[in-house]
Amino acid sequence: SQQGEEDPQALSIQEGENATMNCSYKTSINNLQWYRQNSGRGLVHLILIRSNEREKHSGRLRVTLDTSKKSSSLLITASRAADTASYFCATGPMDSSYKLIFGSGTRLLVRP
Amino acid sequence: EPEVTQTPSHQVTQMGQEVILRCVPISNHLYFYWYRQILGQKVEFLVSFYNNEISEKSEIFDDQFSVERPDGSNFTLKIRSTKLEDSAMYFCASRDRGEKLFFGSGTQLSVL
């Protein structure tokens, strides 16, 4: 089964608007993380939320977690052209302390 | 800021040849990973390595794959006999006792 599916697959917004990306997962988790990937580059960690947390903020990022629905959302407020990238959620499964399972990602385009 | 470094950035090989992808994780990190990303697709977990042994591996990580930490700094992924479908971007990642992964910039492997 696939763990961590984001939607939408692609999102195009105007600079200054907010961008919301959603992630659903299937198994019980210890934590959920969001990563960013610029084209052809490695992934960069953005934010982590633990399974006992419901919301977390970091700068212009806001993450929510609903473990009953097995879903999370990432909100980027006041987007900038430099936010253009792919965004992935990654889950740390409860039955594994070693691996992160990545979703399929949302490609965000912020138009100047 | 310390970073994970991967070499080479691009590797072209003929089908059936052996390749070794190299990584230097962050020096005080304890957990090491290989992920791969086929163009336009999700980031897939291959293997995790801790305390000088494989801690977890995915179905993709079959007998053609092996990992090694030959000294205190390098972490390598060997593909014994490459197939066309091994063409992908391979990412090395490491972490300390926290959950956040630090990724290298990747090696683009092209199997012809």
Reported as a single tens digit per residue, the pLDDT across B33-72 is 999 999 888 899 999 999 999 999 999 999 999 999 988 7
The pLDDT assigned to B99 comes to: 86
Q: Which residue do the tokens 């957990």 mark?
A: B31
Q: Is B51 left (phi over 0), alpha (psi -120 to 50) or beta?
A: left
Token reading at A32:
């959920």
Please say whether the beta carbons of A53 and A46 come within 8 A. no
Q: How many CB atoms lie within 10 A of CB A72?
A: 25
Distance CA B41, CA B34 (A): 16
Set of chain B residues whose Cβ sits within 8 Å of the Cβ of A41: 105-106
Q: SS3 of B85, please?
A: helix
The pLDDT assigned to B61 comes to: 96
Q: Shortest CB distance from B42 goes to which of A41, A92, A103?
A: A103
A→B interface, C-beta within 8 Å: 30-31, 33, 35, 37, 40-45, 48, 88, 90, 92, 96, 98-105
Token reading at B4:
């994970």
Distance CA A74, CA A93 (A): 19
Q: SS3 of A41, please?
A: coil
- Does the beta carbon of B89 lie under 8 angstroms from any beta carbon of chain A? yes
pLDDT in tens, A32-63: 999 999 987 889 999 999 999 999 999 999 99
Range name among A49-53, A100-104, B90-94 with the lowest pLDDT average: A100-104
Q: Shortest CB distance from A43 goes to which of B31, B41, B43?
A: B43
Instruction: Summarize the confidence of residues A76-80 as an average pLDDT.
Output: 97
The pLDDT assigned to A3 comes to: 56
The pLDDT assigned to A1 comes to: 35
- Residue B33 sits at φ, ψ, to 5 deg, of -140, 150
In this structure, which amino acid lies at residue A9? Answer: Q
- Residue A11 sits at φ, ψ, to 5 deg, of -145, 130
Set of chain B residues whose Cβ sits within 8 Å of the Cβ of A94: none
